Amino acid sequence: MTYNAGPHLFRLVNLRKSKVKIGIIGASGYAGEELVRLLIKHPNSNLLAVSSRQLSGQYVKDLIEEESLIEEDIKFVPPNDNIFYDCELIFLCTPHGVSMNLVNKFLAKNIKIIDLSADFRLKDLKTWESWYGLKHSSPENLQHSVYGFPELFREEIKKAKLIAVPGCYPTVSLLSVLPALRSEHSIDSMIIDAKSGMTGAGRAASRNLSGEMLENFKAYNTEGHRHYPEIQQTIKLLSKKRIDLSFTTQLLPIKRGIYLTAYIKFNSVINFSFANIYKEFYRNSEFIKILDEAPNLKSVTNTNDCLISVHQSSIKNQILITSCIDNLIKGASGQAVECFNLLYAFDQNTGLI
Q: Which amino acids are annotated catalytic?
A: 168
Kindly state the DSSP code that residue 284 receives in the 8-state scheme. Answer: T
The residues pairing with 324 across neighbouring beta strands, listed in sequence order, are 259, 307
Dihedral sign, Cα of residue 112, residue 116, residue 118, residue 124: positive
- Is 325 exposed, middle or buried, given 0-12, 13-18 or 19+ CB atoms closer than 10 A? buried
β-bridge mates for residue 246, sequence order: 191
Q: How far is CA 235 from CA 55, 245, 330, in A?
A: 40, 9, 20
Where in 108-220 does DSSP place strands (E)? 112-115, 146-147, 162-164, 187-196, 218-220
DSSP secondary structure, 76-114, as one string:
EE-TT-GGGGG-SEEEE-PPTTTGGGTHHHHHTTT-EEE
